[in-house]
């Protein structure tokens, strides 16, 4: 196997699906996507490539992290002919697309869910990220940055462990170069890490510190656009000198739920377990007798904010489900229409004194 491709994450899984393209094509990994085309890492260099008309016609939109079959003609123009099947993907809702889904990054092994150890540390947001990551089949690692400005790091780590007992949690300072060694086991040749976290938590600083090079040099591509204007594109997939590939994608910063139902189950296993013990299987955890959730909240074993957070995620998921599934939408409408008719009937009966 080519050592450069291997560093980029190439393996037998992709090799198998590339077989049919071996003649006339070479594999490449997409490092950025823009309106004019893509940037692609190949075993020799990084090239600009356009998406073939056929691929576009078939609705295949490349995403950062994708492995593609590309060809180069005798004028040096590179074309993407196929996108190889994805190992996994992280998506977000996008009402503007027919599928309602926009794929943000693909073929990821580990997600660094990054937050900063100041007032930004928000457990509910962490839970959302965990649900998304788990649903995508990606291993989460929680990185608490800015340990230098936090006086009770251990207490914060314990707070995080309380909501994610089975997830590795590390406190670091990207500017102070503290605790960075704890991340190196995840940054190995062939492994792809995606950085998730709100703006300002220190993602760019971390990449610079890991690579030891300024981000401008690491992540930016300078080129001329079709009209000859000088433009700078941010390379979102970065091959680290120490090994491993890291993806920092701006779109991921405003992630909303797409299809995180399985992730929701593992993230809120405690809530799901309690719900399973309620007296009624369709318990809404409101006023029903024998509700184990209400009991746990009253006894203080389940924090109310955690339950509310679970509810909020559940509502978002249902909204997404409805959008994806018109039948469900219709069934919901029908249900509410029926309830409306029944309510009116009851009111009329009351009026008539029945
Ligand atoms: P990004 O938006 O997530 O890429 O965040 P940046 O990397 O741009 O960092 C945002 C701000 O946080 C910058 O002013 C950084 O200097 C600062 N910062 C990053 N890491 C640390 C850290 O470990 N400690 C402190 N005190 N500040 C940090």
pLDDT digits (tens, 9 = 90+) for 156-198: 999 999 889 899 999 999 999 999 999 999 999 999 999 988 7
Spacing, Cα 202 to ligand 1 middle (Å): 4
Structure tokens at 311: 């509810």
Q: Could you identify the atom of ligand 1 that is nearest to the CA of residue 207?
A: 7
pLDDT of residue 335: 60
290 backbone dihedrals φ, ψ, rounded to 5°? 70, 25
The percentage of the chain sitting over the pLDDT mark of 90, rounded to a whole number, equals 40
CA of residue 229 to ligand 1 center, whole Å: 31
Q: Specify the 3-state DSSP secondary structure of 112.
A: strand
Mapped onto helix, strand or coil, the DSSP state of residue 27 is strand
- Return the higher-pLDDT residue of 247 and 1: 247
Q: Ligand 1 pocket, 11 CB below 6 A?
A: no
Q: How many residues does the chain have?
A: 354
Ligand 1 within 6 A of CB of 198: no
Spatial distance between the Cα atoms of 302 and 294, rounded to a whole number of angstroms: 9
Q: Quote the strand ranges of 75-125, DSSP E.
A: 78-83, 89-93, 101-106, 110-116
Which of 90, 87, 91 minimizes the C-alpha distance to 111? 90
CA–CA distances in Å: residue 186 to residues 95, 172, 173, 200: 34, 15, 17, 23
- Atom number in ligand 1 closest to CA 208: 7
Task: Decide: 149 in ligand 1 pocket, CB within 6 A.
Answer: yes
Nearest CA to ligand 1 atom 22: 146
Whole-structure pTM value: 0.73
Q: Which of 116-130, 161-175, 269-283 is predicted most confidently?
A: 161-175
User: Would you state the pLDDT for residue 38?
Assistant: 92
Mutate to test the pocket of ligand 1, among 118, 151, 175 (most ligand atoms within 8 A of CB): 175
Residue 47, phi then psi, degrees to nearest 5? -125, 160
Report d(CA 175, CA 25) in Å as an integer.
43
The Cα 70–Cα 214 span in angstroms is 30
The number of C-alpha atoms within 13 Å of 156 and in the hemisphere containing its C-beta is: 24
**Residue 248 Cα, ligand 1 centroid: separation in angstroms?**
14
Cα 240 to the chain's mean position, in Å?
21
> Which region among 103-117, 160-174, 266-280 has the lowest average model confidence (pLDDT)?
266-280
> CB of 331 within 8 A of CB of 299?
no
Helices and strands: H and E segment counts in the chain: 12, 15
Ligand 1 centroid – CA 203 distance (Å): 7
Q: Hey, whose CA ends up nearest to atom 19 of ligand 1?
A: 202
pLDDT: which is higher, 69 or 197: 69
Report whether residue 215 contacts ligand 1, using a CB cutoff of 6 Å: no
Q: Going by CA atoms, what residue is nearest to atom 7 of ligand 1?
A: 202
Distance 244 CA to ligand 1 centre (A): 22
Averaged pLDDT of the chain: 82
Q: Is 175 in the pocket of ligand 1 (CB under 6 A)?
A: yes
**Packing angle of the helix pair 292-299, 269-276 (nearest 10 deg):** 120
pLDDT of amino acid 10: 96
Does residue 204 have its Cβ closer than 6 Å to ligand 1? yes
Residues 67 and 92: beta-carbon distance below 8 Å:
no
For the cut 90, the answer to whether the pLDDT of residue 108 exceeds it is yes
Q: How many CA atoms lie within 13 A of 286 on its CB side?
A: 3
pLDDT band at 258 (very low <50, low <70, confident <90, very high): very low
Ligand 1 in contact with 201 (CB < 6 A)? yes
- Higher pLDDT: 262 or 344? It is 344
CA 117 to chain centre: 21
Structure tokens belonging to residue 281: 């299987």
Q: Which of 202, 204, 249 to mutate to test the pocket of ligand 1 (most atoms within 8 A of CB)?
A: 202
Asked if 80 contacts 40 with a C-beta cutoff of 8 angstroms, the reply is: yes
- Give me 187's structure tokens: 């940054």
C-alpha to C-alpha distance for 258 and 264, rounded to whole angstroms: 11
Residue 199 CA: nearest ligand 1 atom is 2
Query: In this predicted structure, what is the pLDDT of residue 230?
Result: 59
| 7 alpha carbon – ligand 1 mean position (Å) | 28
pLDDT score, position 132? 83
Distance from C-alpha of 315 to C-alpha of 107, rounded to nearest angstrom: 28
**What token pair was written down for 130?**
């965990």
Report the range of poorest mean pLDDT among 33-37, 121-125, 195-199, 229-233: 229-233
Among 117-121, 163-167, 324-328, whose mean pLDDT is lowest? 324-328
| CB 117, CB 148: distance < 8 Å | no
Element containing residue 9 per DSSP (H, E): none
């Amino acid at each position: 196997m080519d050592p450069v491709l291997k560093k980029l994450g190439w393996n037998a899984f992709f090799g198998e699906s590339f077989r049919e393209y071996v003649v006339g094509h070479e594999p490449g990994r997409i490092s950025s996507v823009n309106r004019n085309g893509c940037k692609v890492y190949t075993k020799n260099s990084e090239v600009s490539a356009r998406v073939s008309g056929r691929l576009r016609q078939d609705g295949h939109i490349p995403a950062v992290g994708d492995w593609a079959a590309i060809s180069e003609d005798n004028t040096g123009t590179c074309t993407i002919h196929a996108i190889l099947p994805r190992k996994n993907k992280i998506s977000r809702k996008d009402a503007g697309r027919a599928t309602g889904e926009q794929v943000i990054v693909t073929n990821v092994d580990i997600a660094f869910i990054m937050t900063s150890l100041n007032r930004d540390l928000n457990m509910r947001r962490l839970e959302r990220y965990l649900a998304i990551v788990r649903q995508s089949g990606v291993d989460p690692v929680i990185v608490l940055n800015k340990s230098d400005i936090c006086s009770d790091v251990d207490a914060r780590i314990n707070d995080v462990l309380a909501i994610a007992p089975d997830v590795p949690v590390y406190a670091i300072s990207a500017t102070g170069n503290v605790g960075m060694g704890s991340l190196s086991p995840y940054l190995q040749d062939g492994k792809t890490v995606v950085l998730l976290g709100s703006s300002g938590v220190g993602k760019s600083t971390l990449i610079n510190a890991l690579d030891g090079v300024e981000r401008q040099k690491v992540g930016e591509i300078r080129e001329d656009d079709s009209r000859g204007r000088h433009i700078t594109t941010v390379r979102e997939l970065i091959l680290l000198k120490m090994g491993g590939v890291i993806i920092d994608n701006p779109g991921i910063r405003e992630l909303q739920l797409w299809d995180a139902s399985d992730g929701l189950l593992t993230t809120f296993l405690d809530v799901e377990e309690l719900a399973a013990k309620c007296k009624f299987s369709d318990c809404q955890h409101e006023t029903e007798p024998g509700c184990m959730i209400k009991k746990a909240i009253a006894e203080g074993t389940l924090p109310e904010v955690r339950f509310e957070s679970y509810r909020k995620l559940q509502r978002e998921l249902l909204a997404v489900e409805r959008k994806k599934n018109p039948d469900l939408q219709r069934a919901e409408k029908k249900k509410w229409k029926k309830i409306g008719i029944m309510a009116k009937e009851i009111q009329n009966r009351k009026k008539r004194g029945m």
